[in-house]
A and B are shown apart, each in its own frame.
With several copies, the nearest count.
Chain A
Amino acid sequence: MKNITVRYFAMFREHAGLGEETLSLNVSTALDVFEQTRSRHGSSEPIGHCKVAVNDEMVDWSSAVNDGDTVLLFPPVAGG
């Protein structure tokens, strides 16, 4: 189990009902974090255009997460 701080943005924050939580999770990749928090909050947002960052760095979904990491979950962006 790893202690992971998860931050939710925009619609993810509204679905989760909170902006941030620290969870003890059995995960090895950023994708695992996405899937476990999605089922935890009963969200069904497809991963499609979602993005992820670990410790303020944009990464691939297959990137490893380590104990103490902060994972940022970004729903599809819409700048401009």
Chain B
Amino acid sequence: MFAISDEEIPVGDLRKGLTDSGAGGLCVFEGWVRNENDGRAVNRLEYEVYEPLAIQEGTKVLEEAKQKFPFLRASCVHRSGLLEIGDCAVWVGVVAPHREEAFKACRYIIDQIKNRLPIWKKEHYADGDSDWVNCERCANVNAQSGAGN
């Protein structure tokens, strides 16, 4: 299940929704809004999402992950709209019989979500300025080592 939400992500409910008696492990990744980026103090974030294609592409990412690293269940929810420091911007959860697949599928999903979905991030800085995060740097880093945030 992949979804876009303009409200706080219900992390407890999402976790419960993955319950499966054959599951040996759950791997979760949450992206949180942090208070700085590239040395600039950030006050809040705004996510613009083109929902029809984000949902289509997000759903495709979950299917690819299941092909590559067979798991039992997975969910991913990405926020849209205005977020404050500490808010959860994206939640990915994967349950599998063994931890190997859970970790690998979770990592694959978040990496692809960050690189492929039509989602844009505008940072509002403490100095009053604001800017779209081009993520050229992220894209480069991702290509090399899978890093980002």
Interface of A toward B, CB cutoff 8 Å: 9-11, 14, 48-49, 51, 53, 56, 58, 72, 74-80
Contact = CB atoms under 8 A, between A and B. Distances in A.
A72 B48 CA distance: 14
A78 B120 contact: yes
A9 B48 contact: yes
Contact of B121 (A51, A53, A58, A78): A78
Given A9-B120, A10-B120, A11-B132, A80 B50 contact: no
Given A10-B122, A56-B53, A80 B149 contact: yes
Contacts of A79: 47, 78, 90, 113-117, 119, 121
A5 to B, nearest CB: 14
A9 B117 CA distance: 13
Contacts of A51: 118
Interface in B90-149: 90, 110, 113-122, 132-136, 138-139, 148-149
Contacts of B134: 11, 49, 75-76, 78
A37 B9 CA distance: 37
A40 B115 CA distance: 28
Nearest to B120: A10
B89 interface: yes
Given A79-B115, A80-B114, 14 more contacts: A10-B120, A11-B132, A51-B118, A56-B52, A72-B53, A72-B118, A75-B134, A77-B117, A77-B118, A79-B47, A79-B113, A80-B89, A80-B90, A80-B113
